[in-house]
């Protein structure tokens, strides 16, 4: 998330019916008629597995993320390994979802490899992606180093699967996670005074609560001359607001749907009734409204990028934000920033996971799918992930367990670090534990539900509706969306 372009409200994607019509028509033709404008992948059946498709050009469509920036800056290792060229198209997320939907529905097969956001791409268009187990089990193709089991399980399930079929539709590629980012230098300078005034140790820890966070923010507002406000938030009327609020909602034992862990981790087409009318959800909204009242007022104009910039400029003392901002933080505020798991509510701590996988389009020829597998395999390999960590233009965080045991990666968890995102390792590993993982619902119609949530929260901030009223209104809108279903 840290390097992503800010997106506007998610737009309704191509209907599932239109997608399936296009996919079915393409599939019945064997080799897609729409691919006639693109040459098929070259094949030398006698070549070594990595060289078998040399001479092919692949198209990869991605959101502008840290690992894609790193890979785009140095594709030479992949081209030398395979003889394959890769064209990379980067877009903001809602535009990417539209492009992919149109490509699938038309059967053109323009994109071989797709950055498959779990909510706007993978859930609605799962039928249009190849089951990657086919390639992993093909003796003529290179296997994943470490296999599927080397990916962090929560990442593989959330970013790579949809439903209970067991299919693996994407390989975990990035893993932005929301953590507590704070000015460690100011907490050190004022720690004793805050403790005396507030009656608790303000140092961020696993014991910190959201009520304590609120109290710390108020204290900074009145006592610290180095910053204007204690806290800031990504509370613009935008997807960012849903992300920021969800951390609090879950910590209060609120949920969007029943069995939220399963719906978030594996996904479903029928999530049931929305649960935002519950007492727990309303309590979470009441606290969130109260928290925003002591936050920097500009929070209501910020998405994650605006919040990150405000923190780096020294305007605020702390904020919840995506962990991959560490690389930029360490440039602007070297040695002054700390990272911790988000505070606890009455039920638990919860940190939003925002990871995405890369997938192979099923709307391209069989040869192209196999060539695309080579790129997906290489792009998520441990060696590539270590390289991305150290990239001057990238900095993505590993999705493979083995990378966290590499000696120079372990060393980078402490300053001075040549891989600054690893300074967040302790915080994100805590957030990825099952008890702390924050997963929004992986349902095909999530884009519209997301809009309902942040729209009603914005009305709450404006005083048009109470926190309880905002939750009830959002739930009513979500129930209408899910009752209609995805097939328009």
| Cβ neighbours, 10 Å, residue 197 | 14
Determine contact, residues 20/127, Cβ cutoff 8 Å: yes
What does the DSSP 8-state code read for residue 142? Answer: P
Q: Are strands 171-174 and 356-360 parallel, antiparallel or unpaired?
A: antiparallel
Q: Is 354 left (phi over 0), alpha (psi -120 to 50) or beta?
A: alpha
Q: What is the reported pLDDT for 487?
A: 60
CA angle 250, 2, 418 (to 5 degrees): 115
Q: What is the reported pLDDT for 37?
A: 60
Determine contact, residues 283/248, Cβ cutoff 8 Å: no
Determine contact, residues 70/395, Cβ cutoff 8 Å: yes
Average pLDDT in the 87-109 region? 95
Determine contact, residues 109/365, Cβ cutoff 8 Å: yes
User: How many residues in total does the chain contain?
Assistant: 488
Q: What domains, with CATH codes, occur in the chain? A: 16-175+354-405 (3.40.190.10), 178-351+437-484 (3.40.190.10)
Question: Model confidence at 317, in pLDDT bands (50, 70, 90)?
Answer: very high
Q: Residue 218 burial (CB < 10 Å; 0-12/13-18/19+)?
A: middle
pLDDT at 3 over 80: no
In the chain, what percentage of residues exceed pLDDT 90?
Answer: 90
Question: Model confidence at 103, in pLDDT bands (50, 70, 90)?
Answer: very high
> 335 to each of 321, 322, 330, how far by Cα in Å?
18, 18, 7
Which helix (H) or strand (E) segment is 411 a member of?
Answer: helix 407-411
Average pLDDT in the 161-170 region? 96
Which helix (H) or strand (E) segment is 113 a member of?
Answer: strand 113-116
pLDDT at 16 over 50: no
Q: What is the reported pLDDT for 17?
A: 44
Q: What is the reported pLDDT for 22?
A: 41
- Average pLDDT value for the chain: 92
Determine contact, residues 315/119, Cβ cutoff 8 Å: no
350 three-class SS: coil
At residue 87, what are phi and psi to the nearest 5 degrees?
A: -95, 125
> Which of 31-45, 92-106, 319-333 shows the lowest mean pLDDT across its residues?
31-45
Give dist(CA 425, CA 337) in Å, integer: 14
Give dist(CA 341, CA 206) in Å, integer: 7
Tens digits of per-residue pLDDT, 270-310?
999 999 999 999 999 999 999 999 999 999 999 999 999 99
In the block, residue with structure tokens 């191509």 = 14
Determine contact, residues 5/96, Cβ cutoff 8 Å: no
In the block, residue with structure tokens 């081209």 = 79
Determine contact, residues 456/471, Cβ cutoff 8 Å: yes
More confident of the two residues 104 and 2: 104
Tens digits of per-residue pLDDT, 404-454?
999 999 999 999 999 999 999 999 999 999 999 999 999 999 999 999 999
Q: What is the reported pLDDT for 396?
A: 84
Give dist(CA 339, CA 320) in Å, integer: 10
Q: Which residues contact 30 (CB under 8 A, 6 or more apart)?
A: none
């Amino acid at each position: 998330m840290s390097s992503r372009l800010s997106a506007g409200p998610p737009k309704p994607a191509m209907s599932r019916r239109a997608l399936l019509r296009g996919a079915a028509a393409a599939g019945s033709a064997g080799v897609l008629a729409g691919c006639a404008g693109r040459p098929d992948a070259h094949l030398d059946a006698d070549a070594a597995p990595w060289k078998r498709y040399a001479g092919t050009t692949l198209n990869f469509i991605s959101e502008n993320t840290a690992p894609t920036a790193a890979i785009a800056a140095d594709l030479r290792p992949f081209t030398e390994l395979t003889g394959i060229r890769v064209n990379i198209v980067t877009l903001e997320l809602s535009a990417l979802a539209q492009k992919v939907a149109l490509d699938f529905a038309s059967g053109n097969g323009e994109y071989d490899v797709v950055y498959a956001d779990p909510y706007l791409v993978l859930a609605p268009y799962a039928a249009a992606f190849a089951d990657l187990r086919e390639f992993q089990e093909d003796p003529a193709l290179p296997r994943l180093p470490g296999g599927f089991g080397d990916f962090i399980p929560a990442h593989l399930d959330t970013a790579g699967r949809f439903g209970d079929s067991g299919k693996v539709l994407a390989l975990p590629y990035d893993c932005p996670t929301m953590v507590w980012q704070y000015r460690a230098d100011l907490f050190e300078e004022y720690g004793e005074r805050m403790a005396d005034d507030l009656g608790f140790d303000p140092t961020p820890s696993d014991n910190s609560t959201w009520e304590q966070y609120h109290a710390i923010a108020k204290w900074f507002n009145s006592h610290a001359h180095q910053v204007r406000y204690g806290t800031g938030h990504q509370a613009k009327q935008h997807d960012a607001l849903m992300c920021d609020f969800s951390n609090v909602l879950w910590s209060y034992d609120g949920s969007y749907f029943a069995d939220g862990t399963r719906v978030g981790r594996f996904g479903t087409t029928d999530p049931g009734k929305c649960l935002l009318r519950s007492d727990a959800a309303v309590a979470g909204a009441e606290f969130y409204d109260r928290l925003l009242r002591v936050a920097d007022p500009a929070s209501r104009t910020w998405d994650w990028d605006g919040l990150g910039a405000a923190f780096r400029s020294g305007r605020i003392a702390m904020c919840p934000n995506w962990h991959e901002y560490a690389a930029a933080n360490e440039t602007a505020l070297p040695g002054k920033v700390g990272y911790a798991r988000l505070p606890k509510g009455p039920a638990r701590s919860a940190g939003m996971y925002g990871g995405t996988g890369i997938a192979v389009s099923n709307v391209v020829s069989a040869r192209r799918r196999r060539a695309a597998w080579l790129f997906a395999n290489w792009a998520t390999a441990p060696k590539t992930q270590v390289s991305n960590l150290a990239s001057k233009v990238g900095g993505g965080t590993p999705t493979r367990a083995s990378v966290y045991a590499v000696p120079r990666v372990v060393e980078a968890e402490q300053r001075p670090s040549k891989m600054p995102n690893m300074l967040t390792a302790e915080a994100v590993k805590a957030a990825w534990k099952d008890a702390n993982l924050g997963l929004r619902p992986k349902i095909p119609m999530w884009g519209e539900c997301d809009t309902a949530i942040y729209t009603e929260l914005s009305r709450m901030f404006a005083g048009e509706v109470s926190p309880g009223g905002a939750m009830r209104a959002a739930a009513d809108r979500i129930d209408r969306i899910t009752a209609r279903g995805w097939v328009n």
